[in-house]
Chain A
């Protein structure tokens, strides 16, 4: 067993608590309650261990990370260890006092999410009345504080038509970066797939819009774009490869190679309560399981892209083919690829509402 390269990024999911209920949330269907969350001292130790292991960037996420009162302490500690700190927030709990504390602590960057530009639709998608005004206020505070800002828009069939206005909002708010990400269909997104998956015409229009905006804002605003797998011919390198670049810590302290990995059966994910981050990264069987290319079967094993996409997403392979060790069905070479076409056909017929909102206990027992 060779020693893996150190991870680049740590995703610190501080809490699953969140005032919003977005139906495509990347959190697992089984949400953790506040009582099970790691305490401050443990997070501070994790940050120390991350810096020593070679982590360069820490993404404070959730849930809503600003729901944790110790967030400024964690940011300050990250800065002390020269970890680049990124806050991934919905903005609805961000007031002047908290932002000032975060700036003083040395926060490097904020990613602020919007569910849409159109208020009624945004608040219907996020499941929180009054959220949009709070987000606009948060953006103004961030801009005034001089912090670099990314606006995040998750797009899907029920908001994709507003993409031009989303990009215009980024320019209006002085964002250096916009992230336009199609819903990824795992967990809650998969539950709501039929209500969210865009049509091919919508996807093509969105892609063309992004390309035009990139040319228009070249050198002033970066636009990152994440496409949906369902129209792809080849899979994405999920997390840059299993156990290669990222380590994700859940609110209760489980270490995962990706935020959805707990859906995979037969893997025991170690806890930072019991083991050091270095021991977890270098030698835990769960991180070794799909690392590199040795685990691959055909068509991945002999594919010249095996070290480009690393076989795609294990969670998607499990959810759509029943076996996490299969090639991601986003790949046209997978015998399961037609399941994606079938999902597109099903989505086109379904009604445009009735989300299953992300709430504790709301997960359906029969999965989509």
Chain B
């Protein structure tokens, strides 16, 4: 499990932006791209290279009124998956 004080950031060369044609957020990386689902979009919007993992989880748990440990698990799993693909640095 990734510690709470880890500060996730987009990987080098990775961009997260809204695509007006598809009306959807897209994560653009070197020679690959991801179409994150709604939950992943909410997480990625908080990945700014400043906020810690713990702060991201607190924010989401508060805003969506969800159990913190459940949110923590979902966030860690999603970010670890993208880290393995080089899109996020942890």
Contact = CB atoms under 8 A, between A and B. Distances in A.
A109 B33 contact: no
Contact of A108 (B15, B83, B84, B90): B15
B86 A54 contact: no
Nearest to A111: B31
A279 to B, nearest CB: 16
Contact of B17 (A82, A86, A111, A177): A82
Interface residues of B, number: 18
B27 to A, nearest CB: 10
Contact of B33 (A57, A111, A221): A57
B31 A148 contact: no
B12 A219 contact: no
Given A54-B19, A108-B15, A147-B13, A219 B83 contact: yes
A6 B22 contact: yes
B31 A150 contact: yes
A54 B31 contact: no
Contacts of B85: 222
Interface string B8-33: 00011101010101100010101101
Contacts, number: 56
A84 interface: yes
Nearest to B14: A148
Contact of B86 (A84, A86, A222): A222
B3 to A, nearest CB: 15
B28 A57 contact: yes
Contact of A218 (B15, B22, B33, B84): B84
A221 B12 CA distance: 11
Nearest to A219: B83
Contacts of A150: 30-31
Contacts of B33: 8, 56-57, 84
Interface of A: 6, 8, 52-54, 56-57, 59, 82, 84, 86, 108-109, 111, 146-148, 150, 176-177, 179, 218-219, 221-222, 224
Interface of B: 11-13, 15, 17, 19, 21-22, 26, 28, 30-31, 33, 83-86, 90
Q: Which 9 residue pairs across A and B have the least CB separation, nearest first?
A: A148-B13, A54-B21, A222-B86, A84-B28, A109-B30, A148-B12, A109-B13, A148-B30, A219-B83
